[in-house]
Structure 1
Amino acid sequence: MLVVGAVVLAALMLPGVWHLLRHGLTIVHEAAHAGVAVLVGRRLSGIRVHSDTSGLTVSRGRARGPGMVATVAAGYPGPALLGAAAAWLLSRGYALGVLWLLLLVVVLVLLQIRNWYGLWAVLVSGVALVAVTLWAPAQVQTVVAAGLTWFFLLGAPRAVVEMQVQRRRVRRRGGRDESDAGLLAGLTHVPAIVWVGAFLAVCGVLLAAGGAWLLAAWPVTGITYPPWADVPTCDPMCPSAASATAPGLPFSVCDSEAVSTPPEIEPHSGRNESLSLRRALALLDVCARETDPTGLTAAEIGRRLGVHKSTVLRLAAPLLESELLRRDTTSGRFRLGPGALRLGHAYLSTLDVESVAAPSLDELARTTGCLTVLTVPDGLQSRIAGHRPAPGTAGRAVPRLPSVVPLHCTAPGKAILSVAGTALLERAVAGGLRPVTPRSITDPGELRAEVLRTRRRGFAVDDREFDPDVRAVAAPVLDHTGDVVAALAVVGPAARMSAAAVQEHARSVVLAARTVTRRLGGAGLGPSAAAGGAAEDLRARRGA
């Protein structure tokens, strides 16, 4: 974020670039005049933007008075105020919200523009914003939003200085001072230089506030997504499931392999037995995922598998003999049989989350190059059940890990809260949200919102909330009953875990957690579960 600000500052120092970019400040400057004019009850007549980067907003009403003073005074602080608002949105993770806010300003100015050059300037700005907002990748949107935010924060005080320079030139030539400061001097009898100082002070304060928000939020701002960015759960019977990408996320989070093979495609030539086995296993999976207790007909199973009803009956015969399936003698519907229950119990009796997650911990450490951690719920905390050091740290001192960590200010804890239901969340809130670092979440409403975002995007982020020098990404692990039993996390130094790294680690953690979930017999968090969780969270927030 600091690099983006430095690039913008350098661009503002170039006269040619400044003249071109100055049109954007003029548009927002005039929008501020127009907005305040409407708020104080004046009648807006129109806005003009000229090729020399000057502008004019015409409104009708009393020629003097507080309303007129407020209207004239709003122009120069306007871009800085917009920049500060954009910085606050970025600090909350809403880069796309910044772009929509700027697009709204452009549209409102477009409705009031009254000259051809101004129309061209506003349209070009609007088209560029629309292109970035609708079609640019998430990382590009974040960089553009940050660049525009810095532009308004840094450009606003430069515009004030430029106005003062222009005032001095006009005075030396004996001309009339028609700048905003000059008009305010005539309206209030306060010297124009005082107004210039006031503009600079306001812009400086807003620059300091906005800059602090931007620098404090980076780099996690780049990977935080809006609350509506749900992570879908793929149907593993769908051949295209492996390439499904969640809307709002810049990576694929579903790696389920399609187990259904169309009848005309044989993965292993001349090995029909293997193909039949694959289809039989797919048939079992279809019946296992069916929520209707009455089961499925052969025709319904055939449609889901993409095979004929007669093929379903042929595949089902040995499954019925081994009691893996049952068929109702009256309706002819298929359900899982007691043989499936015996297999399930035999499998579950050999499982514990630590041993099942061990290969994924190793692989996650290898692929991310970071410390990986497995935690399990333990009351209002999560207990560290296993970890793997980052590759290449053999012989070095490994940081000592605490045995338990709180839920509200750690990535594993927030991942667990996101799928554990509102009861545990409310218990955590009632137990007190003690700050561990200045960035720890201590407000119940903010924690509920963060848990909702975590549930919908599929992973949690700890941005120096538990350790001021550490960032972490975590995803929940579910068992065969759908309960959360653990969380997998990637932990690294904040200085080395940039936005791109957090984003890539999030993808790896989500895939690893889903792998462990499948090995525990779980099916992951489906859309219905996410929707239910969102409804529960909304009810909890309303009751807060």
Structure 2
Amino acid sequence: MKASPGATSPVRSSPAPQRAGIQSVEVGFALLEVLSTSPGPLMLRDLAAAAGMSAAKAHRYLVSFQRLDLVTQDSGTTRYNLGPASLKLGLAALSRLDSVKLARQLMPTLMAQTGQTLALAVWGNQGPTLVHWEESPQAVTVNLRLGDVMPLLSSATGLCFAAFSLPRLAAGARPQSRLALLVKDELVRNQKLARKDVPASMAEVAALLEEVRLRGMARAVNTLLPGVAGLCAPVFDADGHLVLGMVALGSLATFDTAWDGAVARPLAAAARQLSRDLGFKQE
């Protein structure tokens, strides 16, 4: 049947053309993705299997990734891990988050109010990770760097993330989430070291995290570094999720560790203000 002159023929929609890419890059990225979600370094066979490729194929990609510093290999264990270039990329991305940008704008005022070293931390692949650091003129020298992952049970930063990201822990409950497993692993390590300054049982962990929730911030004194105290206040987004920890750190000689002291008050106020700016509504 012929269409009559002037009649409009139906137009068939065609799928949007797929943009050309480099398939080998996409394939190789699977290895980086596995390493980013792994709790630690991996053997070649395990890494390759998790990425869905043969060990020989994975090895070729890993050789190139090592040249670019995206991946490192431990000469002793032969295990692979993410390299310094991966950390650099991750920190650059994290530092451009809106929450971090907004928090950095509050830092000069907070520094003037507290006189202490300040830091910002977000949740990374391995735990709470420092993504910004501003030293006070009276700063105590500490062996911390951008990209460092804070321990969950001996640092104010770790306690803050554990308390406000985990559901309340029952003493006999088995950990389910990755964060809960990390807490359990750290607890076991501390038990082996016979540390007396951190929780020694899951019941003590649960009690400590409950205190952090009640106080609205976390505190660590002499547990992360000798002679050093820290406070960390949580920042929440519009959905009530913890997105950032605002940290104050200093020498016990000058740092007010009181829950309502000269450091805690402005730190908590800044965190509440940033949470409001991100759309969080306090119940």
TM range (shorter): 0.5 to 0.7
Deviation at 1:425, TM superposition (A): 5.3
Match in the other structure for 1:384: 130
* 2:115 corresponds to 1:357: no
Cα offset for 1:508?
Answer: 1.4
**Contact 1:374-1:385 at 8 Å conserved across structures:** yes
Q: Which amino acid aligns with 1:404?
A: V
Q: Does 2:149 correspond to 1:404?
A: yes
Of 261, 270, 275, 1:512 maps to 270
After TM superposition, list the pairs within 5 Å mapping 1:38-57 onto structure 2: none
Q: Which has the higher helix share?
A: 1
Query: Does the aligned pair in 2 maintain the 1:470–1:491 contact within 8 Å?
Result: yes
The 8 Å contact of residues 417 and 424 in structure 1, kept in 2 or not, is answered as no
User: Does the CA-based 8 Å contact 2:155-2:224 persist in structure 1?
Assistant: yes
Of the candidates 227, 230, 255, which is equivalent to residue 469 of structure 1?
A: 227
Equivalent position of 2:182 in the other structure: 428
TM superposition shift of 1:485: 0.9
Alpha-carbon distance, 1:457 to partner: 1.5
Q: Distance in 1 between matches of 2:238 and 2:256?
A: 35
For 2:102 and 2:244, locate their aligned partners in 1 and report how far apart those are by CA, in whole Å: 11
Partners of 2:260 and 2:227 lie apart in 1 by 15
**In structure 2, distance between residues paired with 1:500 and 1:410:** 16
Contact 2:257–2:264 (Cα < 8 Å) also in 1: no
Number of residue pairs aligned between Structure 1 and Structure 2: 173
Note if contact 2:256-2:263 (Cα within 8 Å) is conserved in structure 1: no
Deviations 1:156-208 (A, max 9, x none): xxxxxxxxxxxxxxxxxxxxxxxxxxxxxxxxxxxxxxxxxxxxxxxxxxxxx
Describe the superposition over 1:67-115 as per-residue Cα deviations: whole angstroms up to 9, x where unpaired. Answer: xxxxxxxxxxxxxxxxxxxxxxxxxxxxxxxxxxxxxxxxxxxxxxxxx
Q: Does 1:491 align with 2:255?
A: no
Code of the aligned partner of 1:405? M
Question: What is the deviation of 1:351?
Answer: 5.3
Aligned letter for 2:122? V
Partner of 2:23: none
Q: Give the superposition deviation at 1:400.
A: 3.9
Q: Is the 8 Å Cα contact of residues 100 and 244 (structure 2) preserved in structure 1?
A: no
Equivalent-residue separation in structure 1 for 2:269 and 2:126 (angstroms): 26
CA distance 1:498–1:519, change in 2 (3 Å): closer
State the 1:519 CA deviation: 1.9
| CA apart distance, 1:408 | 1.7
Moved over 3 A (4+): 397-400, 434-438, 498-502
Aligned to 2:62: none
Kept in 1, the 8 Å contact 2:229–2:250? The answer is: yes
Offset, 1:499: 4.6
Task: Classify 1:442/1:425 alpha carbon distance in 2 versus 1 (closer, same or farther; 3 Å).
Answer: farther
SS across alignment from 1:455: helix
Q: Which residue of 2 aligns with 1:453?
A: 211
Q: Secondary structure at the match of 1:509?
A: helix
> Looking at both structures, which has the greater relative contact order when contacts are Cα pairs under 8 Å and sequence separation is at least 6?
2
Give distance in 2, aligned partners of 1:425 and 1:444.
14
| 2:274 partner SS | helix
Could you say what secondary structure the match of 1:454 adopts?
Answer: helix
8 Å CA contact 1:439, 1:463 repeated in 2 = no
CA distance in 2, matches of 1:391, 1:501: 23
Whether the aligned pair in 1 keeps the contact of 2:153 and 2:186 (CA below 8 Å) is no
Q: CA deviation at 1:426?
A: 2.5
Aligned to 1:373: 119
Cα distance in 1 between the residues matched to 2:109 and 2:262? 14
Counterpart in 2 of 1:482? 240
> CA–CA distance in 2 between the matches of 1:351 and 1:381?
17
Give the conservation status (yes or no) of the 8 Å contact 1:480–1:521: yes
Q: Alpha carbon RMSD of aligned pairs, Å? A: 2.5
Deviation for aligned residue 1:389: 1.0
AA at the equivalent of 2:250: G
3-state SS of 1:474 partner? strand
- Larger of the two Rg values belongs to structure: 1
SS at structure 2 position matched to 1:488: strand
Q: Is there any run of 5+ residues in structure 1 with no aligned partner, and where?
A: 1-349, 527-544
Aligned-partner Cα distance in 1 for 2:201–2:210? 14
Q: Distance in 1 between matches of 2:128 and 2:110?
A: 20
2:280 pairs with one of 518, 522, 526: 522
Shift of residue 420, structure 1, vs aligned partner: 0.7
CA distance in 2, matches of 1:502, 1:471: 15
Percent identity over paired residues:
25
Aligned to 2:78: none
